[in-house]
Chains A and B, each alone.
Chain A
Amino acid sequence: GEDVEQSLFLSVREGDSSVINCTYTDSSSTYLYWYKQEPGAGLQLLTYIFSNMDMKQDQRLTVLLNKKDKHLSLRIADTQTGDSAIYFCAESGGYQKVTFGTGTKLQVIP
């Protein structure tokens, strides 16, 4: 079945850039997503990228997709303490169910 892998933990200093990485196995993925989970809350979609794109930028967020290597990354510029959360990578074939990764806990040190 589909598999999505992420490292479990990342620690950065406030003001630095954060890069969260993800690898997936499903070559038929149509959409790839980044969800954010703040403490005590459910997941919320942060951004997504269509599989025919290489990059998507949205304010402080940059998503890079290397389809050949099945690698997705999320870069957060000027990381703030409010960015501390768990970030989930996910993939979907479009109209099918979504497969989530293990989540990366981002700790921002003031």
Chain B
Amino acid sequence: DADVTQTPRNRITKTGKRIMLECSQTKGHDRMYWYRQDPGLGLRLIYYSFDVKDINKGEISDGYSVSRQAQAKFSLSLESAIPNQTALYFCATSDSQRGQNEQFFGPGTRLTVL
């Protein structure tokens, strides 16, 4: 079984709709992250959480919100989706006890906003 799972894997929606992307992990890691990937722009950090009570904005948080429901679950919401939020979204985890800060990625969610 995959250690970091994301649902849905693909989603097509319309402008103005509310969308939630979910991430679950069985690795027991305390830190979780949401990134978006756009061609030519690489990975950009949207939000990150170092534990259940800690939520931080990344470099492109406008238009997004997150919820850390439990150590294993971190969801990303688009309150009112717009076309330039069309991208590939990745959830990742890391373990603060491991010094090299390796990040473990989910398989990604491809979101299209029409």
B107 close to A41 (CB less than 8 A) = yes
User: Which label, helix, strand, loop or mixed, suits the secondary structure of the B interface?
Assistant: loop
Shortest CB–CB separation between residue B4 and chain A, in angstroms?
8
**Interface residues on chain B, number (Cβ under 8 Å):** 24
User: Which label, helix, strand, loop or mixed, suits the secondary structure of the A interface?
Assistant: strand
**Interface residues on chain A, number (Cβ under 8 Å):** 27
Chain B residues with Cβ under 8 A from A35's Cβ?
103
Known: A42-B106, A102-B40. 15 other contacts (CB 8 A): A1-B59, A31-B100, A33-B102, A42-B92, A42-B107, A43-B43, A43-B90, A45-B102, A48-B100, A50-B100, A96-B101, A97-B48, A98-B103, A103-B42, A103-B43
Considering the complex of A and B, which 8 residue pairs feature the smallest CB-CB distances, nearest first?
Answer: A42-B105, A102-B42, A100-B43, A43-B105, A92-B101, A103-B42, A45-B102, A42-B107
